Structure 1
Amino acid sequence: MQPTVDNVKKAKRALSLAQDIVRDIEAGARVAGDRLPREEEMLARYEVARATLREALRFLELQGVIHLQLGRSGGPVVARPQTGDFANSLSLILHFMEADLRGLLELREAIAPDVAAYAAQRATTGDLSALADCLKELERNEAGSQFEELNRRFHDLLGWASGNPLFGLLTSSMHLLTREFSRSLGYSAQERAVQLRFLRRVLEAVRTGDAQAARQAMAKLVSGSASYLAGRSPELVSQKVKWGQI
């Protein structure tokens, strides 16, 4: 059933209104936790139908821009979109593109070495401390059930340590998208030891500001990891990304 012209127009009006609300949030320097005006005030301000306003607010809630509190004192409250919001939207697109785990692994191979190099140039004292603490936890859990999760956390921290939030966002989102895949496989004891060896090299290169060494160590780590996963479970890396698995 094709959408009617009126429905398309209503959707466009709701999207346009959502954009206006975002601009007003920015103009008013509103931060997470701030309440937006009540419904009657917003209807008067934007001169739209109630249904259009509610559709715009639902759209913004789905994007993580606001959340709607229920009850007598409820209403729209400003939120801060999280990595999970982006990853969820990305997974929907990848679902229809029929992207698979192999594609995500290749993307990681392409960007992870440069992310490590940028981190070597830009990591702060706080970044280095967080990375070192995470690596210590990894070493303590080398044989434990938290190894994969801590491993992902190290790479997430490295992405944000690059000084470019786009790298941090993309790295963390990829890990959310691949979490279910890796849970069903996991690393052998030998592969965990290999991962730790290269992570130590990466951290040392980042600590000393050696971008080239960080890039080389990370390139070997992610390439080896991808080969390990493809060799151990070729059917797994062929699995498609499914929306709703995050």
Structure 2
Amino acid sequence: MNEIDPALTDLPRRKRTDEIVDAIKRMIVEHGLAPGDRLPQERDLITQFAASKGTVREALKALEVQGLISVRTGPGGGAFIERMSEGRAMSLLSNFLFAKNLSIANIYEMRKALEPLVAASATPHIDEAGLNRLEAIISVYDHEPADATERWNQRMAELDFHGVVAEYADNPILAFTCRFLQRLLKDLAIAQDIYVQPEPVLRQSGIEHQRDLIAAMRRRDADAAAAILAEHMAEAEQHMLGLQARLMDRFLSEDATPRRARRRRAP
């Protein structure tokens, strides 16, 4: 007779609330419920799951916090399916990562792995309108900025270029992850500090990579598109890390200057 592994018997029992949350999610998928559709009434959920009113309400509250439903009170009220926007999903993930001390290196480690894949995935599907959008975005930053505002807008447009490529990928998880990484760079404090600096950027090299990418996608060469993005991401990472190092050196130098001045004034 096979003995049960004692470790398996020590596994914590899942909360009943969590089980009901998962069951409702399965119900939404299996019944093909769409945004605006209403879930069964609370009393029906209580009967269906043989749970207390408090447990069912806790499960519905958890689904509402996740952005999957909204609970309305009063006549005609109930729990209704909500459309989870990409922006809200990214905000939830950003909140989770808020205290994780993300770095530019962390983000580019992922971008180097995924951006070539998303370019290859998008190549068979992008149309001429999409390629024209990419060319239009390049025109935003193919020249020196006139002021700080234009400099910032150019840096954001450089990231938006890759967001458009991701729109045409046939793998929604891959596309979402790449767009999320681009958003993290826009929101990361150290990256923002770099983007506002009047530092020289690898403008022409980056633009050449992007134009080569457009050409590869236009001729439906997915392997070439992936290779171009791999080189582009590696170069972009080195450039960003170099700018970060120079920025930190400048901060340290500025911080040390007053101390040296104080020592010179001391008797």
Pick one of 153, 157, 160 that aligns with 2:164: 157
Q: Tell me which residue corresponds to 1:202.
A: 213
What letter matches 1:174 in structure 2?
A: L
Structure 1 moving runs of 4+ over 6 Å: none
Deviation at 1:14, TM superposition (A): 0.8
Alignment partners' CA distance in 2, 1:172 and 1:53 = 35
**The residue matched to 2:15 in structure 1 has which SS?**
helix
**Comparing 75-84 and 221-230, the one that deviates more:** 75-84
Instruction: Give the 3 Å change call, closer, same or farther, for CA 68–148 of structure 1 in structure 2.
Output: farther
Contact 2:137 2:161 in 1 (8 A): no
The one-letter amino acid paired with 1:230 is L
Partner of 1:123: 125
Identity %: 24
Instruction: Name the residue aligned to 1:183.
Output: 192
User: Is contact 1:84-1:176 (8 Å) kept?
Assistant: no
Corresponding residue of 2:103: 100
State the partner residue of 2:132: 132
> Structure 1 residues 83-92 or 111-120, which shifts more?
83-92
Counterpart-to-counterpart distance in 1, 2:78 and 2:193: 41
Q: Which has the higher contact order (CA 8 A, sep 6+)?
A: 1
Contact 2:126 2:217 in 1 (8 A): no
Question: Which runs of no fewer than 5 residues in structure 2 stay unpaired?
Answer: 1-11, 249-267
> What residue identity is the alignment partner of 2:195?
G
SS class of match (1:112):
helix
* Residue ranges of structure 1 left out of the alignment (5+ in a row): 1-7, 238-246
CA shift for structure 1 position 65: 1.8
Match of 1:25 among 25, 28, 47: 28
Q: Which amino acid aligns with 1:46?
A: F
Superposition pairs of residues 217-228 of structure 1, within 5 angstroms: 217-228=228-239
Give the counterpart letter for 1:159 in structure 2: A
Aligned residues: 226
Check 1:50–1:134 CA distance in 2 against 1; reply closer, same or farther (3 A cut).
farther
Equivalent positions of 1:32-181 (< 5 A) are 32-69=35-72, 72-91=75-94, 94-95=97-98, 98-120=101-123, 122-125=124-127, 128-140=128-140, 142=142, 143=145, 144=150, 145-181=152-188
Question: TM-score with structure 1 length normalisation?
Answer: 0.77
Whose radius of gyration is greater, 1 or 2?
A: 2
